[in-house]
Amino acid sequence: MKTSVLGAIHVLGMAKRCRAKVLQASTSEIYGDPEVHPQPETYRGAVNTIGPRACYDEGKRAAETLVMDYHRMNGVNVRIVRIFNTYGPRMHPFDGRVISNFIRQALYGEDLTIFGDGSQTRSFCYRDDLVEGMLRMMDAPDDFPGPVNLGNPGEFTIKELAEVVIELTGSRSRIVYHPRPADDPERRKPDITLARTRLGWEPKVPLREGLRRTIEWFRSIDMAHYRPPTPNY
Ligand code: UDP
């Protein structure tokens, strides 16, 4: 919360003084555990304000508010993109997210840890597609601050993801089930109509292809180099 909000204030203050353009990397987390599916930018979200994820979610929501206030009141040139789950080579193997966990586990022959029954869904965007969307947003007309969803609308259950990772790595790992974290969103999929219309953007890399490239990178690195002193997964 502190980082999102104070960081935004500092960046916006500086952008106002220097007349810089600001790209706010917002997130699908601002939709919380959504009641609307897929999620368009007009959906205002369902965040549990007192839940364990609220610190991040509410921080990002407040940051969007600040960005728009600086835009309206101080004429700061801003862009807000709402980034959905993203992955790809050079992601941190120990970031604790599902794709890095599954690939790491599969390559080491460890059990793949599914939280819950694996029926919850996510839509995974390959990093090059996301970067292209961000660049297009920065080049969009100044009267279009967004917010704009950037994500891949291909929706998969976590169980499907585990199975694909096992298949693509050729791993003999098994799948095990652990309790689901509190407030873990049930379904998530971006409505990217706005990005298609205003930016002429849509993702190009399907999940299997993106996973292949990511697995190849995971195979090429020395995982020990990345291992955190205190595991966060
Ligand atoms: N997840 C899982 N096993 C893991 C890590 C995550 O089943 O080892 C699940 C998690 O509960 C969530 C989904 O995968 O339902 C995506 O989790 P992640 O932390 O990658 O992203 P987010 O929840 O922020 O979308």
CA-nearest of 51, 37, 44, 92 to 223 is 92
Helices 98-107 and 207-220, axial angle in degrees (round to 10): 60
Q: pLDDT tens digits, residue range 7-26? A: 999 999 999 999 999 999 99
Is residue 122 over pLDDT 70? Answer: yes
Does the Cβ of 39 fall within 6 Å of ligand 1?
no
Asked if omega into 231 is within 30° of 0 (cis), the reply is no
Q: Is 177 considered catalytic here?
A: no
* Tokens (6 digits) for 22: 């600001």
- Between CA 164 and CA 182 the distance in angstroms is 26
Is residue 232 over pLDDT 70? Answer: no
What per-residue confidence (pLDDT) applies to 183? 96
Q: Which atom of ligand 1 is nearest to the CA of 188?
A: 25
- Cβ atoms of 5 and 156 within 8 Å: the answer is no
The residue to mutate among 82, 115, 124, having the most atoms of ligand 1 within 8 angstroms of its beta carbon, is 115
More confident residue, 86 or 228: 86
Does the Cβ of 184 fall within 6 Å of ligand 1?
yes
CA-nearest of 144, 179, 146 to 63 is 146
What per-residue confidence (pLDDT) applies to 227? 84
CA-nearest of 46, 26, 7 to 147 is 26
Q: pLDDT tens digits, residue range 22-50? A: 999 999 999 999 999 999 999 999 999 99
DSSP state of 32: B
Q: How confident is the model at residue 223 (pLDDT cuts 50, 70, 90)?
A: confident
